[in-house]
Amino acid sequence: MTTHVLIVGLGLIGGSLALAIQKNPEVKVMGFDTDFHTVRKAKKLGVINDMALSLKDSAKMADIIVFATPVNATLQLMNEAQHWQLKKDVILSDTGSTKKIIMEKAKSLKKLGLTFIGGHPMAGSHKSGIEAAKAHLFENAYYMVTPLEHEEEEKILVLEKLLLPTKGKILRVTALEHDHMTAVVSHFPHLVAASLVHQLSSENEEYPFTRQLAAGGFRDITRIASSNPVMWRDITLQNRIELVNQLTKWQKEMDTVKTLLLQAEPSNIEHYFSRAKYVRDELPITSQGAMYSVFDLYVDVPDYPGVISEVTGILANHLISITNLRIVETREDVFGILVISFQTLEDRTKAASCIAEETIYETYIS
Ligand SMILES: NC(=O)c1ccc[n+]([C@@H]2O[C@H](COP(=O)([O-])OP(=O)(O)OC[C@H]3O[C@@H](n4cnc5c(N)ncnc54)[C@H](O)[C@@H]3O)[C@@H](O)[C@H]2O)c1
Ligand SMILES: O=C(O)C(=O)C[C@]1(C(=O)O)C=C[C@@H](O)C=C1
């Protein structure tokens, strides 16, 4: 029997979800977006089976509806859904990065007989829009599911079954647990990244050359500052209490760092970095499918025309696919570091040995 799924919001996440769940031949995906060009593009790219031109009319036909919109738009859509004519057993879900306020709204929908089960895949990118969607985006990443306390198990299982082709790891958590944990590992780091960029920007008048020196380290730690500002505005507003708590802890941590600097005791400073390195190195490797994979290979290349095609040509000859490519300019006019991302560890290992055999360029892993 065919399951009709309506995805509302066809950006990076809605598009990736549509591509993944269509691997199940019994699933048909209708897609809606307020931007009609996006809906048309989604159909043209094969991201959705059918274009939903009217949200109300398409909602009537859906067995499952997933909101993949910025979280404040999702709240708005949940309000509107109360007035839609929906199938009796329809399940509503979302992909939003916050859960507490959304699940509070879900409680009021429950009183009207509507089932809403929250969802949030912990994989993404600073890129947005349908063009960035990838069927494998959620592979091996945690896909958090936040049912209300007394939700029917059968309904939760229907949603989880739909998500199986994403190859994400389903993790049931409460909305409160969700918002606390994501504040620590996602939302607060985003504020830090944005603040570092602002700090660099304020240097501009006195030392305008500073930005030219922003090399691998600065770029790595601030990549997420290039994300969609509307999405992050909404996340920040919905999780601001957790964020204020994180900020208070961070300020305390910075006081510790300040004391270390003022005391200038070498062993204490080294110990601070050693403990951080230990915890960072122990982080589990997840999200093979995410676009910014951990399988990066650094290639030290001289700065001359054709060097990139030389390296990528070698990889192509050996049928090794790459998922991303960028240059980190550490010292202007001298050397560039070519950073190549692969989907798997095997691809990266094979690439390193081909480059070692066929060129004189050194390769290393971060
Ligand atoms: N980007 C990430 O890394 C990431 C990861 C996991 C979850 N999320 C969450 O998933 C959701 C979508 O994020 P994204 O990265 O795909 O954003 P995106 O900007 O790529 O796409 C959002 C899409 O929603 C559409 N839209 C906005 N308001 C709408 C409305 N009222 N009705 C219909 N369509 C509407 C936009 O036109 C856009 O096409 C957000 O809630 C975000 O918090 C994002
Ligand atoms: O990789 C990135 O660019 C992301 O920011 C992805 C990221 C994250 O913080 O890990 C961002 C927000 C989402 O809710 C989930 C994932």
Return the ligand 2 atom nearest residue 223 CA: 3
Residue 265: strand, helix, or coil: coil
For residues 198 and 37, is the Cβ–Cβ distance under 8 A? no
125 CB within 6 A, ligand 2: yes
347 alpha carbon – ligand 2 mean position (Å): 24
Angstrom distance (rounded) from CA 209 to CA 205 = 9
122 alpha carbon – ligand 2 mean position (Å): 6
- Which-ligand-closest: CA of 184? 2
Residue 204 is predicted with a pLDDT of: 82
- Which-ligand-closest: CA of 224? 2
Question: Which residue has the least CA distance to atom 5 on ligand 1?
Answer: 124
Residue 214 is predicted with a pLDDT of: 87
How many residues appear in the chain?
366
87 alpha carbon – ligand 2 mean position (Å): 33
Residue 215 is predicted with a pLDDT of: 79
Q: Which of 94, 99, 102, 122 most suits a substitution to test ligand 2, by most atoms within 8 Å of the C-beta? A: 122
70 CB within 6 A, ligand 2: no
Residue 294 is predicted with a pLDDT of: 66
Question: Does ipTM exceed 0.90?
Answer: yes
206 alpha carbon – ligand 2 mean position (Å): 33
For residues 310 and 358, is the Cβ–Cβ distance under 8 A? no
11 alpha carbon – ligand 1 mean position (Å): 5
Question: Which residue has the least CA distance to atom 14 on ligand 2?
Answer: 97
Task: State which residues of the chain have pLDDT below 50.
Answer: 287-292, 330-335
Q: Which of 40, 66, 69 most suits a substitution to test ligand 1, by most atoms within 8 Å of the C-beta? A: 69
Write the CA distances from 162 to 25, 119, 130, 178, 321, integer angstroms: 11, 12, 21, 21, 29
Which residues on adjacent β-strands are paired with residue 340? 297, 325
What's this model's pTM, rounded to 2 decimal places?
A: 0.84
Longest dimension (CA), the chain: 70
268 alpha carbon – ligand 1 mean position (Å): 44
67 alpha carbon – ligand 1 mean position (Å): 8
Per-residue pLDDT tens over the stretch 232-273: 999 999 999 999 999 999 999 999 999 999 999 999 999 999
Residue 87 is predicted with a pLDDT of: 97
